Every structure is written in C-alpha cells, then in structure tokens.
Amino acid sequence: MIGKKNMVFGFFYFIATLGLGIYLAKINNAPGVTDAQKSILRAAHAHGNMESFLNIAIGYLLCRLQLNRGLAQVVSIALIAGAALHSGMLYLGGLGYRGAFALAPIGAFSLVLTVLLMGVGVLSLKTVD
C-alpha cells in the first residue's frame, strides 16, 4: 500500500526528532556549542516533528482515499524526500555539516509540492452520495 511507507517513516522520524530533543537538552549549557547551532537544531527539531506528523497523516490518507495511483506515488515519494531534505539537512547543518544547508530549500519545495498535489488529488475525487 502506497501510504504505509510514509506512516512507517513518520513514526521512525518522530523517534529521531525525540532523540534530537534529548540531545538539545544535554547541550544547552555545553561549552563549544554556539547559540547559532542550538537555534538551528531547535528549528530542525520543530520542523522534524511537523514533518513526521505530515508523513503519518498524509500516509494514512493515501491508504484510505482512492487517489490516482501515479499521483499517490509522487506524493508519497515527495513527502519522504521533503522531510529528509528539509529538517534532515537542518539536523546535519546544525551538527556542523554546513554544505547540507544547500539542500534544505529543495526539501521545503518538495513539502509544498506535496501539499499542493494532495489538494489536487482530493479535488479530483468523485463524490459518493
């Protein structure tokens, strides 16, 4: 089923964001960690939580709605890629891999595209009385 991989990814990604939250609590007063790094990691934590929820919710909808199969596949892949490339790259950037920041806008665009495509898919559903 198309949406299952999104739900599984979403649950595991949420566990990863919980781990980041624990890491953030430990480095709060750690020497050598800049305020900018903490700020970036907080943003990654918040966005990761939202993107894991989006994967779970949209994955559930993909399982339940009779969307066009091709459209559902694109939505599914774009949503997972969007989460990994958006908040995932913020994680890496906050941990010191500065080149990762270049991919974060691609992930954000992928998430916006996902929501737009999901809207198109829902609008194309036939109403059953």
Over residues 1-32, the pLDDT tens digits come to: 789 999 999 999 999 999 888 888 888 777 88
Q: How much is the pTM?
A: 0.89
Q: Name the burial class of residue 124, with classes exposed (0-12), middle (13-18) and buried (19+) by CB atoms within 10 angstroms of its CB.
A: exposed
Q: Provide DSSP, 28-83.
A: TT-TT--HHHHHHHHHHHHHHHHHHHHHHHHHHHHHHS---HHHHHHHHHHHHHHH
Over residues 91-111, the pLDDT tens digits come to: 899 888 889 999 999 999 999
Task: Give the three-state DSSP class for 105.
Answer: helix
Which tokens hold the place of 51? 């993107």
